[in-house]
A and B are shown apart, each in its own frame.
Chain A
């Protein structure tokens, strides 16, 4: 990759750490307040992540739960790894989740390009539609598809059998194919959301240069746009892969029944079956860490030397590729994704929310009782308020903390930065089923009045949000030209002033996108928080989970419909704010 002069003659593109004198300068400024502040940041982050994780590691080597009488043991690891089953499990997990990530990544990049770089009609509206599936909890996506594709009574199977006059159903949602299908649909949306904000933040002058030199839209995309955002996209892929490794709802619902096991539903089985074996569950969970770290290492190696800043601080308006008639094909493919990821499964959920008995759709079964049951549940409003406040506050804190971490990792030479980078990945290496236990064990022993409080819930959410937060903010920061910041400093602006007047406005769209993604993540998180939601601090997600285990799927559906509407409303508001914010800067 060559360095391309931007308009105005300055170097808009410079590899990070490009200038040697600057590096030497940083060496000398040791033990300044800033240096100490970074150390403090590292200590806080380290504590948040490593303390609960350490409890789990300790638990995996202990014959009892941490803090209770017991002895050191390797038994959990021996029973986990002396059986060939675990290796088969590992292979299935990696192939399935890797396959899902690659397929979904390709689709997400394609859709993001259509929406941000082409003249496809209604692309602003399409963007909202494609982001929507991210706000549908995985469990409902899976249940929706069960209702469509269960072997005997799945709606699609019934229709196909009748139309083609066949006795056997052609499709079965239970099994590897079903897991792959449902998880791919969900993660396209997640990656699309992050990739569009990357593309939006990218300086279009590079693409302009390519177009001016005679490259067509496709060639520009393949040779300029994609390589430029490549490292950040790799980070997003890694994030999605790791997220998939620890997701448990879909494998539990679609895999277990067909005898298909990945790490998470195996761990789930270990804490469900007698003898209940939290030791084995934590050992399985902990042993994913090296695997995940290996992946992070590979991602960092691939990205090294290819980190380019692409936001120059000037107004940017990407040149829109004219697709001609193909633009309707692009339009149709966006709609098609929305149809299979949201319309089809959610239609079943919405229908279910109006029926007396979940799963039977008949004219005489329709009722509004589920909504009235929900709206008269005294916990609903409390859970709603709690969700908005706790998840909202946690999202804000996570964005700020993540920005600081990302800044240290990308912009400084502080000795802790590499460690900080790795530590920020760790929370997602532990499946949620056991992560909740880590938080419980860690914080109940602290001589602080945290247990059972809303604050602890927020701490757990912030910790769990770091991998996503840091990835998003790092992606944003990498694109902001270092020189914008440095020119402010050179003109005598203090660091806080620079942060407030230069960095924050430039990063605002990314911060908003990140905050919203985190809020959506937090507002539907169940496993890690169910143990920590103390008296009176229920969240909507926990309520949803409780209705699920009580088998009240009709009410779950009604709640899910409400949750989805709330999240989409939040998305629309945030976008409005983000658009205004960008205009304010430009």
Chain B
């Protein structure tokens, strides 16, 4: 674990430290103009203004969308951000149908690695890397040059402090296989996309299938919806959530819930959530300008209100504040290969849901 000396987020420093090893193969900051200033941006802005709007398919809540719209309009007046909310899978189905029918509405899609891999694999995303990608946290850039990470979801162990006394707190992910936690742990179903899949896969890379078999003996409570599992832990129906995002966990705590987010020694699991330009986007220039802006310092400050920014040097605010000083679990799996994900899903079915 490293501590940054500057005023920047400590998270960033430790991320850099822990990701250096992984960076060798992966970090591919594309070779583009170093900064989105000067005439290039002006021309893009002129062209974007002619288009007048950009349509975003994302899972953002209304408040976040509103902040994005206002922030973007302040910097680039005359271009409206229109948001279509939905889960990743809804955005995916809409884009697939729009492309097949050649009725293009969506310009930019925001989603996690699995959805992006699915869309990208079908050739429905336009390879576009913002010049700002060069300024992102190391190791989260997209090797295929399609996705532009805008924030990261961070996963640790969440406990109900009324049910897990300090001396019993798990220090490591590995401690969760301790029989004393049998019947007490909630997790998102690892057969679907999200925290459950990434946490289990990270642990599998770190330990092995035998460890997963030990976990399976713990009578884990599997839920489709991570938020639902969080409610179970808040109420005390379960004591521990092993795939709650730091945001959910800290939100429950700041509301007054008996909740504590633990940073396991092996490191926290991190999932980048990115933006991609949709193929045949009706407002391509506005879309590019929006992606550039969202990854810029201005855009990332908006992101920092509710999430952990993907850009170096922008600290997460409020709820995510105590994410500083964390270690990150470096993972090979990044969700970019749908076949690998399907195989993992099948494996987890046999381990955790034996017939």
User: CB within 8 Å of B: which residues of A?
Assistant: 65-68, 147, 150-153, 252, 256-257, 268-269, 271-276, 356-360, 362, 364-365, 377-379, 437, 440-441, 444-445, 451-452, 530-531, 534-536, 546-553
B235 interfacial contact with A, CB 8 Å: yes
Chain B positions 183 through 214: 1 when the CB is less than 8 Å from some CB of chain A, otherwise 0: 00000010111000100000000000000000
Q: How far is the CA of A275 from the CA of B94 in the complex (A)?
A: 18
Are the CB atoms of A377 and B62 closer together than 8 Å?
yes
Are the CB atoms of B223 and A257 closer together than 8 Å?
yes
B103 interfacial contact with A, CB 8 Å: yes
Chain B positions 81 through 110: 1 when the CB is less than 8 Å from some CB of chain A, otherwise 0: 011111101100110111011010100000
Instruction: Output the nearest chain B residue to A358 by Cβ-Cβ distance.
Output: B231
Are the CB atoms of A531 and B189 closer together than 8 Å?
no
Are the CB atoms of A551 and B256 closer together than 8 Å?
no
Instruction: Output the nearest chain A residue to B259 by Cβ-Cβ distance.
Output: A357
- Chain A residues closer than 8 Å to B82, beta-carbon distance: 535-536
- Chain B residues closer than 8 Å to A150, beta-carbon distance: 232, 235, 237
Are the CB atoms of B227 and A549 closer together than 8 Å?
yes
Of A68, A256, A359, A378, which contacts B100 at CB under 8 A? A68
30 A–B contact pairs at CB < 8 A?
A65-B97, A66-B100, A67-B100, A151-B237, A152-B236, A257-B222, A257-B223, A272-B224, A273-B189, A273-B345, A274-B192, A274-B193, A274-B345, A275-B338, A275-B345, A356-B255, A356-B256, A357-B257, A359-B234, A362-B256, A364-B256, A444-B97, A445-B101, A530-B86, A531-B90, A534-B105, A546-B61, A546-B85, A551-B226, A551-B231
Q: How far is the CA of A377 from the CA of B85 in the complex (A)?
A: 14
Chain B proximity of A121: nearest CB distance (Å):
40
B window 120-168: CB within 8 A of A: none
Are the CB atoms of B237 and A551 closer together than 8 Å?
no
Of B84, B225, B231, B235, which contacts A534 at CB under 8 A? B84
Q: How far is the CA of A152 from the CA of B160 in the complex (A)?
A: 14
Counting chain B residues whose Cβ lies within 8 A of the other chain, the interface size class is 35 or more
Name the residue among A67, A274, A445 with the largest chain B CB count within 10 angstroms: A274
- Chain A residues closer than 8 Å to B338, beta-carbon distance: 274-275
Are the CB atoms of A65 and B255 closer together than 8 Å?
no
- Chain A residues closer than 8 Å to B273, beta-carbon distance: none
User: CB within 8 Å of A: which residues of B?
Assistant: 55, 59, 61-63, 66, 82-87, 89-90, 93-94, 96-98, 100-101, 103, 105, 114, 118, 189, 191-193, 197, 221-228, 230-232, 234-237, 248, 252, 255-258, 338, 341-342, 344-345
Given contacts A150-B237, A275-B345, A360-B257, 17 further A-B pairs with CB under 8 A are A257-B223, A272-B191, A273-B189, A274-B193, A274-B345, A357-B255, A358-B234, A360-B235, A440-B94, A451-B101, A530-B90, A531-B94, A534-B84, A535-B55, A535-B84, A548-B227, A551-B226
Are the CB atoms of A551 and B225 closer together than 8 Å?
yes
- Chain B residues closer than 8 Å to A65, beta-carbon distance: 96-97, 100
Q: How far is the CA of A125 from the CA of B164 in the complex (A)?
A: 49
Are the CB atoms of A67 and B234 closer together than 8 Å?
no
- Chain A residues closer than 8 Å to B192, beta-carbon distance: 272-274
Of A365, A444, A536, which contacts B256 at CB under 8 A? A365
**Which 7 A-B residue pairs are closest in the complex by CB-CB distance?**
A551-B227, A274-B345, A359-B235, A275-B342, A356-B255, A357-B255, A273-B191
- Chain B residues closer than 8 Å to A552, beta-carbon distance: 61, 227
Instruction: Output the nearest chain A residue to B101 by Cβ-Cβ distance.
Output: A444
